[in-house]
Amino acid sequence: TSHTSAGTVAWPDDLAAGFRRKGYWEDRPLGSLLLDAADRLPEKTAVVDGDVRLSYAGLANRVDAAAGRLLQLGLKADDRIMVQLPNGWQFTVLTLACFRAGIIPVMALPAHRRYELSFLTELSEARAIAVPDAIKDFDHQALAEELAAAVPTLDVILVSGAANTGNTRLEDILAPGTEVAAARARLDAAAPSADSPALFLLSGGTTGLPKLITRTHNDYAYNIRETSRVTAVTEDTVYLGTLPASHNFPLACPGILGILYAGGRVVMLPSPEPRKAFATIEAEQVTLSTAVPAVAQRWIEHQQETGSGQLASLQVLQVGGSRLPDEIARKVKPVLGATLQQVFGMAEGLINSTRLDDPEEVICTTQGRPVSEADEVRIVDEAGMDLPDGVPGSILTRGPYTPRGYYRAPEANTRAFTPDGWYASGDIVERRPDGNLIVQGRDKDMINRGGEKISAEEIESLVYRIEDVTMAAAVSMPDPTLGERLCLYITVKPGSEVTLQIIQQLLRETGVAAFKIPERLVVVDELPVTKVGKINKKDLRADIARRLAGAG
């Protein structure tokens, strides 16, 4: 039987009972859990965003007041709200307010555009959306209005900054309240079940359409506790979050939520640009931060160029999201002065990491091991047979914070999950005899552009909208800064011409996130195929690597 809302796949009852018995699931909703520190440390600073500094008492007050106002707007528990906000205090207060009220945030990225947002709004049947008024020259508010006109369920638009008539100013919703104790008591009395969905994360995506991952209060709280433990988070931790906060890694591994749970301080920046990030690390005495390999590399280069003393407080730098080359890993401690923690995680659950006291060899050459004793990991061959240590194969995983299926995606579920609940992430992994994992590659059709995931199928299906394109294949090409970029191979109708500009223009007009737009086009007479008649992407990846090497 399912304890969670329709469309989600619950853990089998006997397993859920075991998770409770062993203390993995504590049956406390995230909203109250994350505000525990407000009782212990009311005066301590919880969130810093530029000039804004919120104490724990101030945060708790705003969160409860905001939860009350969201309910007054007509939203109710289990309703969905699209959250597309840059890193800032508003993101944090709104997310916690949603947890308090049982309203489910759908964690969209600031980079998403009409294509992704309309799909996600429809899939989640979102009733509300929270956006900034504009970022740079992109009018997020206008897009939200367009979505509300097109999607029947969507009728509440919350705007951070200058709200148009008819929309609600997000900062008004997130303002402090006056009757603190009463607001708290009301919310406590109506708290959501810890088995219910707390949030929707976006899948890195291998299928044609984006997928949503339901994370429950129970499973996400456990994710936060275990990652906080292995990263040694305490009240004294000062965390700098510069990656988009709606990603699982900076949100909860241990991230913003882990640091608030421990009573530490969260400092938010909308970008990892090194000058600003380093100045902030010094000003706030940051002890922990999170990077993708491309950002770690930029920070290393910036530090080598400037020789700044700004990083003295930084104790740990977590790096993950894509494979960190060993030679960059080896520079982290000597150049940045921080202990490297490699993290191989996924929004679908399983988090692996190196431990802070691991030998340097483990820290610099592996992606670590599962954070929880309850994580099950198998490395299997193509027939699903277990492989011995040292032999790379496909990773399968199950556990108390790895859900059993995507939201409303029965077909994707049959491909990504085995009948007995193992999630196949599509990564090719070697397990060493000491238990540490090394990510050797992947057998999923995805491009990992500096940690941002792009589904090849999604891009190809959009490119087929161009009449003159007869075949299309999106593949990764090697890139010295981002690791991979997106290259598109096509064949076209005889006599027709399709250029990179035409394709980029189409995707821009479709409203696809900029990071998914192909950066190089190769037009060929014929695409190579495998023995079973599928496009041979291995050959294409080799071909573009050869072309790039030749050009360089």
Binding site for ligand J2J (CB under 6 A): 204, 248-249, 253, 320-323, 342-347, 351, 367, 425, 427, 439, 442, 453
Q: How many CB atoms lie within 10 A of CB 301?
A: 14
Q: Is the dihedral of CA 389, 390, 395, 399 positive or negative?
A: positive
Least Cβ distance, residue 236 to ligand J2J (angstroms): 23
Alpha-carbon gap, residue 544 to 316, rounded angstroms: 37
CB-nearer residue toward ligand J2J: 8 or 341: 341
- Alpha carbon separation from 5 to 140, 215, 513 (Å, rounded): 30, 11, 30
| Shortest Å, Cβ 449 to ligand J2J | 11
Instruction: State the nearest-atom distance from the C-beta of 427 to ligand J2J, in Å.
Output: 5
Closer to ligand J2J by Cβ: residue 187 or 424? 424
Please report, as a single letter, which amino acid is at residue 67: A
How many Cβ atoms sit within 10 Å of the Cβ of residue 543?
18
Whole-angstrom distance, CA of residue 216 vs CA of residue 312: 38
Q: In this complex, which beta carbon is closest to ligand J2J, that of residue 16 or of residue 371?
A: 371
- Least distance to ligand J2J, CB of residue 204, Å: 4
Non-local (6+) Cβ contacts of 324 within 8 A are: 293, 296, 342, 367
Q: How far is the CB of 524 from ligand J2J (least distance, A)?
A: 28
Contact 531, 510 (CB under 8 A): no
CB 77 to ligand J2J: min, Å: 26
In Å, what is the CA distance from 307 to each residue of 145, 302, 481? 47, 8, 21
Comparing CB distances to ligand J2J, the nearer of 29 and 426 is 426
Residue nearer to ligand J2J on the CB measure, 256 or 351: 351
Kindly state the smallest distance separating residue 49's Cβ from ligand J2J, in Å: 22
Of 61 and 216, nearer to ligand J2J (C-beta) is 216
Under a CB-based contact definition with an 8 Å cutoff, are residues 329 and 365 in contact? yes
Complex with ligand J2J: residue 346 or 364, whichever CB lies closer? 346
The residue (of 280 and 322) whose beta carbon lies closer to ligand J2J is 322
120: which residues sit within 8 A by CB, 6+ positions away? 82, 106, 108, 112, 126, 202, 210, 212
Minimum distance of ligand J2J from residue 223's CB (angstroms): 8
Rounded-to-integer distance, Cα 294 and Cα 341, Å: 15
In the numeric block, which tokens belong to residue 538? 């291995």
CA distance 260 to 480: 36
Query: In the complex with ligand J2J, which residue's Cβ is closer, 186 or 298?
Result: 298
Report how far apart, in Å, the C-alpha atoms of 190 and of each of 96, 100, 102, 147, 184 are.
15, 9, 9, 31, 10
Query: Strands 80-83 and 104-107, how do they pair?
Result: parallel
- Per-residue CA distances from 550 to 487, 490, 545, 546 (Å): 16, 21, 9, 6
The least distance separating ligand J2J from the CB of residue 348, rounded to whole angstroms, comes to 6
Question: What span, in angstroms and rounded, lies between the C-alpha atoms of 426 and 460?
Answer: 19
The residue number whose beta carbon is nearest to ligand J2J equals 345
Compare residues 41 and 428 and give the one whose CB is closer to ligand J2J: 428
Give me 84's structure tokens: 């597309």
Dist CA 462 CA 205 (whole Å): 15
Beta bridge partners of 477: 485
Q: Which is nearer to ligand J2J, 25 or 344 (CB)?
A: 344
Give the nearest distance from C-beta 225 to ligand J2J in angstroms. 14
CB of 169 to ligand J2J, least distance (A): 32
